[in-house]
Amino acid sequence: MDGTRIRAMFAVIDAQDWAALPGFFHPEVVYERPGFPPLHGLDRVMRFYHEERKITRSVHHIEATAVEDGRAACWGRVECELPDGSETTVGFADVYTFEGDRIHLRRTHFFVPSV
């Protein structure tokens, strides 16, 4: 596993290539994302992308990745178009655990005011 695979996943998300996206995730993936209870399992994660994601278009800019012993992190910013047509840019960081070359846990953090 290296940062290339993480960058490839974001390219697939930005292209909205939902047929290719499952290839990045373990069948028993858990995706933790602010505003949602943990998403358990590949079917649930794909339902999120097909039906619930509040971003209609995205361009991820990855600043860096770090990978070590089946774990990884990446951070950067994402330019987003929202359902009402407005646009925003948000900083984010993801942490991952892998089984083989597939993501078993993904945890996303957004840099927005909260406290």
- pTM listed for this prediction: 0.93
Please provide residue 67's backbone torsions phi and psi, each rounded to the nearest 5 degrees.
Answer: -135, 135
pLDDT at 67 over 70: yes
- Domain parsing of the chain, residue ranges: 3-111
CB-CB contact of 42 with 22 (8 Å): yes
Place 98 in a pLDDT band, splitting at 50, 70 and 90. very high
35 compared with 11, residue with greater pLDDT: 11
pLDDT at 37 over 70: yes
The full DSSP string for 56-113 is: SEEEEEEEEEEEETTEEEEEEEEEEE-TTS-EEEEEEEEEEEEETTEEEEEEEEEE--
pLDDT number for residue 1:
63
Q: What is the DSSP letter of 17?
A: -
pLDDT number for residue 15:
97
How confident is the model over 78-100, as a mean pLDDT? 96
CATH 3.10.450.50 is right for the domain spanning 3-111: yes
pLDDT number for residue 114:
75
Q: Residues 39-64: pLDDT tens digits? A: 999 999 999 999 999 899 999 999 99
